Amino acid sequence: MRVLVIGGGGREHAIVDACARHGHEVLCTPGNPGIAAQARIIAGPQDADSLAELAVQEGVDVVIVGPEAYLAAGVVDACRARAVPAFGSTRAASRLEGDKAWSKAFMNRYGIPTAQHRAFSGLQDALTYAATCSLPTVIKDAGLRAGKGVTIAHSYAEAEAALQDIFTQPGAQAVIEDFMTGQEVSMLALTDGQRYALTPPSQDHKTIFEGDVGPMTGGMGVICPFPLPDEALAVIRSDIIERTLAGMRSEGLPYTGVLYAGLMLTPAGPKVVEFNARFGDPEAEAVLPLLTSDLAQHALDAARGELNPAAVQFGAAASAVVILAAPGYPGEPQKGIPLTLPPTGVGETIYHAGTALQDGQLISSGGRVLAVTATAETLSAALGRAYALADRIGFEGAQCRRDIGSRIGAVPESAPDSTPV
Ligand code: GLY
């Protein structure tokens, strides 16, 4: 099969890797230097019509769209208008991620468990309401902010600053919601709108600093699988995933692609923190290495409305992702730092997230630079191998959380000597 992957971060590197290891010919735009080892990189315009035309010209069998911005720009719609199968949500359905005020109202309409909230389109009303909330309170930008539009405000001054920041943008909306306690879990469902297959549950670590403090990032590390109790899984299936897919069909917005439910396992059961319309990043880098079946085939089946959930298979192993981020991230990241990557062993992958080539030298070019992934028979072993590999990279000023997995008590095992491949 010829597959076109759209995007150029760690998630897309993991998608390309999953397709390439099943022998597919993979094209990617805009890609990155890591992806270039496994796919033909195509430069060019990134608007929806140009990308759909590219898919036609290249005669691809299926397009897989990574980042949310491309979904919101209508890449899937543009492909479908040209009869090119595309795996992802339509522009209208991606509102589930792109408009958090709409998404929360949708959850309330269909009885999908989530935190109490209020939405605001003006700063003054939002400030007045925030001043009445108990702390901590959660302030969200209703629009897309690359995973960084959420503030958990522990003081009213922090809530005010977050709201001021949101309302500097024209047409902004803010959502203020109750803070939920519990373990956070990411559940991804591949879906054709009707049928779905869940990936193993995973857990991201979203703040920049250890101990879950500091500003939010796109995600600093992931463990997979998260040990989810059966009762919670049953509720997630029936009350969250199935109600969402049914609700989207009722709204006339059948949801296809990846439904990412960001969940909190509260004392009252699992509740939705947010929906995303795509693979998580770095969840994809943890989940996809465990996929033993063929992602490109599932994507094509789902795009045709023919997903076979039983065919979606994962190995029994565990995986861990440790992010190496540039100094300055999640603020202004330092770019241009030289990177030297060591050889990797079996079950180890260094996914490129924010890298570029300059005069033949690999350099950092974004906030999250590398997603260092390892799989192993146990989570502790996977963590041990991921940290050992990350320590062999260790570029100047790299930020790396050392506590990935600690929320569930997973401790990195010392890594065995690995065999370079
Ligand atoms: N890892 C969080 C996200 O993809 O939004």
Mean per-residue pLDDT of the chain: 95
Instruction: Check if the beta carbon of residue 189 is closer than 8 Å to that of residue 259.
Output: yes
In the CATH hierarchy, which top-level class contains the domain 2-88? alpha beta
Provide the pLDDT for residue 376: 97
Q: What is the topology classification, in CATH, of domain 185-311?
A: D-amino Acid Aminotransferase; Chain A, domain 1 (3.30.470)
* Whole-angstrom distance, CA of residue 78 vs CA of residue 50: 9
Listed by start position, the domains of the chain span 2-88, 116-178, 185-311, 318-408
Which residues lie closer than 8 Å to 185 by C-beta, 6 or more apart? Answer: 201, 202, 203, 226, 228, 263, 264, 265, 270
Cα(183) to centroid(ligand 1), Å? 16
Instruction: Give residue-wise pLDDT tens across range 141-200.
Output: 988 776 668 899 999 999 999 999 999 988 899 999 999 999 999 999 999 999 999 999
pLDDT score of 146: 64
Q: Establish whether residue 99 lines the binding site of ligand 1, counting it when its CB lies within 6 angstroms of any ligand atom.
A: no
Angstrom distance (rounded) from CA 91 to CA 308: 24
Ligand 1 probe mutation, 71, 97, 260, most atoms within 8 A of CB: 260
- Written as six digits, the tokens of 275 are 């929906």
What strands, in cross-sheet order, belong to the sheet with 150-153?
117-120, 174-178, 137-141, 150-153
CB distance 141 to ligand 1 below 6 Å = no
Mapped onto helix, strand or coil, the DSSP state of residue 30 is: strand
The CATH number that domain 116-178 falls under is 3.30.1490.20
- Could you tell me which of 261, 259, 300 has the C-alpha nearest to residue 277? 259
Kindly state the percentage of the chain with pLDDT values over 90. Answer: 94
Cis peptide before 330 (omega within 30 of 0): yes
Q: Measured in angstroms, how far is the CA atom of residue 417 from the centroid of ligand 1? A: 31
Tell how far the Cα of 283 is from the centroid of ligand 1, in angstroms: 7
Asked if the model's pLDDT at residue 419 lies above 80, the reply is no
280 alpha carbon – ligand 1 mean position (Å)? 4
Tell whether ligand 1 has an atom less than 6 A from the beta carbon of residue 280.
yes
Between the CA of 11 and the centroid of ligand 1 the distance, in Å, is 10
Using the predicted structure, report yes or no on whether residue 43 has a pLDDT greater than 60.
yes
Tens-digit pLDDT profile for residues 264-277: 999 999 999 999 99
The whole-model pTM stands at 0.94
Q: Give 300-343 pLDDT, tens digit per residue.
A: 999 999 999 999 999 989 999 999 999 999 999 999 999 999 99
Average pLDDT over residues 91-109: 95
User: Among the atoms of ligand 1, which is closest to the Cα of residue 274?
Assistant: 5
Cα–Cα distance for residue pair 410/124, rounded to 1 Å: 44
Quote the CATH superfamily of domain 318-408: Phosphoribosylglycinamide synthetase, C-terminal domain (3.90.600.10)
CA-nearest residue, atom 4 of ligand 1: 280
